[in-house]
Amino acid sequence: MIKKFFEWVISPMGRVAVLIGVLALFSLATYGISQSQASPPQPLEFRHDVHVTKGVQCLYCHPGALRGPSPGLPTITKCWGCHQQLAITKTSPRLEKMVALIDPATNQPTMGFEWVPVVQVPDFVHFTHRPHVAAGVNCEDCHGDLSKMEIYENPQVFNMGFCLNCHKEKAGDDQEKLTKLTDCGTCHY
Amino acid sequence: MSEKISRRDFLKLASAGAATTAVLTGCGPASRYVEREPYTKMPEYTYNGLSTYYATTCRECAAGCGLIVRTMQGRAIKVEGNASNPVNLGKTCARGQATLQGLYNPDRVGSPTKQGRGSSVSPMDWDSAIQIVADALKNNTPSEIAFLMGTGSDHLFDLVSDLANAIGAPAPARFGALSMFESRATLSKAAENLLGQSAMPFFDLANADIVLSFGANFLETWLSPVAYTRGFAKMRRGNPKQRGYFIHFEARMSQTASKADEWIPLLPGTEGLVALAIGRLVAEAKGGATPEAFASVDPLEVASTSGVKLETLEHIAQLIVEAQTPLAIPGGAALGQSNGLSTAEAVLALNALTDNFGKPGGVFVSPLSPNEDAYHRPASALEITEFISKMKSGSIKALFIHGVNPIFELPKSFGFEEALGSVPQVISFATFPDETAIASDYIFPDHHGLESWGYQRVATGSMQPVLSGLQPVVNGVYYTTTDPDTGADTSELLYNARGTADVLIAATQLAGGKFAEALPFKDEVEFIQSKLVNLISEADGSFSAPEINTFTAYFQQHGGWWKKTAELATPSASSVLSKSVNAETAQFAGEGEFIFLPFVSPTLGEAGANKPWLQELPDPTTTVMWNTWVEINPETAHELGITNDDVVEITSEAGVVKAAVYLYPAIHPGVIAMPFGQGHTAYGRYATSVGVSEKFMDLVPTSQYVNGGKAFPRGANPADVLGAHFNEAGDLAFAGMKVEVKKTGEKQVLSRLESRIGVYGEGMGEEH
Amino acid sequence: MSNQMVDLNRVGAKGAIAEAAEGKWGMVIDRDLCTGCQACVAACAMENNLSFVGEEDAGYGRTQHWIRIERLWEGEYPGVKVEGGFQPMLCQQCGSAPCEPVCPVFATPHSEAEQLNLQVYNRCIGTRYCANNCPYQVRSFNWRDYHIEPFHANLVTGQLVFPLHNQFNPDVTVRRRGVMEKCTFCIQRIHSAQDKAKSEGREVEDGEFTTACAQACPASAITFGRLDHEESLVSQLGHVSRGVKHLEELNTLPRVTYLEKG
């Protein structure tokens, strides 16, 4: 049985099969990796570039970054705070979904959007925003220049190498800082 | 390629490649598809990832320890003690820590249920439930309505008391297994006889230099274990100049006894005699006349009756004479005997002899809780049998049960389950499907303690009067379902429970007339506020407020209200020593070689069996988990040809129980002991057995443990062999049964944390 | 302690850690106060998302007790005693841990920053060599996916719902089968307190936070804190004459001092 299979692989037919197989695996791997980094579809296509270029601060919508582990996602109340006064709210087709959720009687949203998180780290990584923001790391340093992103996309893969590179760089010559920032237990517990 | 490939073959391969690509896209975002839903309106104090803390009170027992519960996004994550609450000062016991597994237990009653005594089970809605309660109140003569409640949930007890009083129904009866094993009626009767007032004595353990405990398991579940453990720690090491000395008299080495410097085993029922003998020796050593209380006891005789050597009695007497602040504490199985009351009196008399009443390290009267007019104790076991007689006679037409599981907690010989047959309508407010709940006509589930409003009066454990407060730390338990078509998520309430106080208020409003007038409140919170209102004008409180709404806000924030200074009443000792204390040995019921000693499991308590982490906590002295055992002295066992894991049958005049043997080195040879807390035939999947194999299987039990039939019991219930015998105060003489022990030939391997080799040389060729 | 004995806390037993030989975070456990009540065990279980294994696996010794209370008997009836009192045993966070060098994938490194023995769950491949090497036997292995056994779930409208999972602490990783775990001295609380202090521009004060076990203990038998700070309570208690370190002779440099009865 094995001999027959081996003979088939050596044959021209077999070699083409192997070549196609390898190419398929390669393309599939590339596709898979690219897909894992692509942004998932969201309930509403929120335009970061529009808001950022208009001067809205990151911390206005994501205040948790200053205080704790998670920056948080804004409630529609926050969006509506400005958008109820903006002309574009009535004209933009994209905003129809949000307008539909506002109860005209109370001027309050009835539900929230089910946002899909784009930046996800595994649950064995305990990342907290507060010390990073406090240390002067800008949002763009990790999340990219949002004034140029229509739909948010990770500018690079959020893997351990990415974190450690910056940690080592920021620690510089300070041995104590370097020890702390490269300690396994600082993030994995 | 030397040979040509046909076009057909090429296409075959290419399509195979494409198919492979399609299958292996598990790396895409589709596989990590997670959705996050922010609050619709973010509460101002909440940030994603940061916790919110709420103060409340633990409801695993009636001690009233204050809690601070850490919650995150509507889920309770961790329980800590409230550092300001004078009872526990920030500490918690194992049962308090595991209360979260009660809140999130998979076997909570999910909705109001038509239970049909277990025969026909169907869910209902709350409106129908409230209608049924209203009808039960309205359609029966008030004298035929009865309420049976547990020792926790004081605000509900007050509400029911007010309701019963207003409509002319009998006052609610309160009872619980813990109060039964603590012999609360005995303690307060002894206090009444000797100190002139019916009250719960408080033993100032913290400031005593030598402590004699006659059976009181104050480090386990007795009265207020966290408070007494704190006191114990202070006694031991709180004084840098002197380490506190602790002597414990008990037929078995309980967890409490194991911390004693001297554990003195004795024949059960002789504790009172021993106390008197010691008192006499102390009086003689001090010189002067021997007080009347100790005049008629003969230490030599006591030595031979109890098994405690005369030298030991003399040695202890000497220690007391030399001590500054000696303290004697009566409790536990010593009071659960036919002579329990005289035992308590004997021990209190010993305290009077050493003149420690009202002094640091001595005996006090526990302060009354704020708003309490007098000490109200739970019903004694004898009073409960009277209640059951009433049930049997048919004069109770509607029975409401909350916070207690009488079918399990009471001895079978009391006949509670049979008596239910004579009550036409039984409505349970149980949160969990315990034995009594599934035997009821309806279950209208109350919130779990962590979802409840309320207050808890602290009966003992604190020097100050304390009213501990409860507030919901979560709004309920939810789960998320995803619509398969639209992909939208909805959050559903998993357990549709409702505060019993709210249910009763709604029902009385529905019933109208005098019922509505009895409880003129919008809801539970308004009722609670009505009870708090007169605290506003009380002085020396932990906080003050100008009016009720502000007061309530502080009450919730602090977790209660208490007086800042201690208010321990000093009992008057003058008459104690001149009274003669009736000294006699205990009488035992039935025939048998052994005296049966049930004790409350220190890890499970009375209601912990459905919390899996409590089941997995090893018993402190035996390290057995998940089951019941019977402790037998190794010598005795050897004589009977019994060894570890043998299943034995224990028979008393009242019943039979089977359990696996644990050779326990520290128990009187004529005594066998069994923990109380296991042996459930209902109460959820963790409290019962799955079936033949104890391993977690790939079962998906849904309704088989909830509203379902009986399951296999996990372990055994020692209450099955207890007969209806009482001491002079009406408490159950639970340690007063004689039993026979018989080998069954079966074996049941107990899961222990300890290594068997280390303990008994098992597996090393040694035999005991 | 004899004067002739070489104090391995001073001699560079492991070079780099010799300076920090006394450790950073440590505990003092008073055996005279411990009542064996298991409050610490329950508190640890709730704080660290420990799984319970059921009766059968518990009988096989597969319980996930990060802290356990040992009870040793001595004597014969009627002179039986619990030898030395109850003994809470937990990971000693050894300065020279025997579990560290044996891991083939470096899943249990020594934290230079916190002077703790870390357990990195995502690196662990489950050889269990570390548990084998631990002289205190304080490491537990996740033999099964205990948390997600269907037995713990309810079937609600066709899906499995695990109500107990609501209680999980988000600051602690929930472990799957195949990884080792052990007491971490509540490192999540250490980080949380340090972060809070840093955000307020100050140092962490002694007693500002503590481990779950120490916080629960009604007898206050467990004290936790900075061993390298002289004024901390744990430092002072650690120098009490009835203090011993277990299995010291194995040169593990444990960070837990037990105060014996005395």
pLDDT (0 to 100) of residue B671? 97
Cross-chain Cβ contact B42/A75 below 8 Å: yes
pLDDT (0 to 100) of residue C193? 96
- List all residues of chain B from 44 to 73 with a beta carbon under 8 Å from chain A: 47-50
Report chain B's mean pLDDT, rounded to a whole number. Answer: 89
Q: What is the pLDDT along chain C (262 residues), one digit of tens a residue?
A: 334 444 444 444 444 444 455 789 999 999 999 999 999 999 999 999 999 999 989 988 899 999 999 998 999 899 999 988 899 999 999 999 999 999 999 999 999 899 999 999 999 999 999 999 999 999 999 999 999 988 898 888 888 899 999 999 999 999 999 999 999 999 999 999 999 999 999 999 999 999 999 999 999 999 999 999 999 999 999 998 999 999 999 999 999 999 998 6
Residue B733 vs residues A86, B187, B229, B268, B372: alpha-carbon distances, Å? 79, 14, 26, 11, 30
pLDDT (0 to 100) of residue B543? 95
pLDDT (0 to 100) of residue B487? 72
A69–B contact, CB cutoff 8 A? yes
* Residue A110 with chain B: CB contacts under 8 Å: 40
Q: What confidence category does residue B34 fall into, taking pLDDT thresholds of 50, 70 and 90?
A: low
Q: From the CA of A177, how many Å to the nearest CA of chain B?
A: 25
Q: From the CA of B16, how many Å to the nearest CA of chain A?
A: 9
Of C120, C173, C199, the CB nearest to A123: C173
C233–B contact, CB cutoff 8 A? no
pLDDT (0 to 100) of residue A4? 87
Cβ-contact B369, B535 below 8 angstroms: no
B141-166 pLDDT, tens per residue? 999 999 999 999 999 999 999 999 99
Cβ-contact B536, B547 below 8 angstroms: yes
Cross-chain Cβ contact A76/B49 below 8 Å: no
A38–B contact, CB cutoff 8 A? yes
Residue B498 vs residues B77, B126, B174, B259, B623: alpha-carbon distances, Å? 22, 8, 21, 43, 38
Q: Whole-angstrom Cα distance, residue C110 to residue C116? A: 6
Range from B190-194, B581-585, C133-137 that averages highest in pLDDT: C133-137
DSSP E strands, B409-544: 425-428, 442-443, 454-457, 466-470, 478-482, 489-493
pLDDT (0 to 100) of residue B455? 96
Q: What is the full DSSP assignment across B621-638? A: TT-EESS-EEEE-HHHHH
Cross-chain Cβ contact B694/C54 below 8 Å: yes
Cross-chain Cβ contact A188/C188 below 8 Å: no
Least confident of B522-526, B563-567, B610-614, C66-70: B563-567
Cis amide linkage into residue B43, ω under 30° from 0: no
What parts of chain A have a pLDDT lower than 70?
36-37
Cβ-contact B245, B261 below 8 angstroms: yes
Structural tokens at position B280: 């006499």
B89–C contact, CB cutoff 8 A? no
Cross-chain Cβ contact A36/B28 below 8 Å: yes
C42–B contact, CB cutoff 8 A? yes
Least confident of B673-677, B756-760, C173-177: B756-760
B512-562 pLDDT, tens per residue? 999 999 999 999 999 999 999 999 999 999 999 999 999 999 999 999 999
Q: What sign for the dihedral angle of Cα B613, B618, B624, B630?
A: negative
Least confident of B365-374, B412-421, B540-549: B365-374
pLDDT (0 to 100) of residue A10? 87
Q: Which helix (H) or strand (E) holds B114?
A: strand B113-114
Of B24, B32, B488, the CB nearest to A28: B24
Q: Is the confidence at residue B29, as pLDDT, over 80?
A: no
A20–B contact, CB cutoff 8 A? yes
Q: Is the confidence at residue B766, as pLDDT, over 80?
A: no
Cβ-contact B106, B611 below 8 angstroms: no
| Torsion angles phi and psi, residue B95, rounded to 5 | -70, -40
B737-747 and B75-81 as β-strands: parallel, antiparallel, unpaired?
Answer: unpaired
Q: What sign for the dihedral angle of Cα B726, B731, B732, B738?
A: negative
* Touching chains, C (3+ CB pairs < 8 A): A, B
Q: What sign for the dihedral angle of Cα B477, B483, B487, B490?
A: negative
Cβ-contact B207, B197 below 8 angstroms: no
B602–C contact, CB cutoff 8 A? yes
pTM for the complete prediction? 0.91
Q: From the CA of B326, how many Å to the nearest CA of chain C?
A: 19
Nearest chain B residue to C217, by CA: B91
- Look at A44 and B628; give whichever has higher pLDDT: B628
Residue with tokens 């996050």: B36
Instruction: Give the ipTM.
Output: 0.92
Nearest chain B residue to A73, by CA: B38
- List all residues of chain B from 176 to 235 with a beta carbon under 8 Å from chain C: 219-220, 225-226, 229-230, 232-233
C173–A contact, CB cutoff 8 A? yes
* Residue C78 with chain B: CB contacts under 8 Å: 264-265
- Look at B610 and A1; give whichever has higher pLDDT: B610
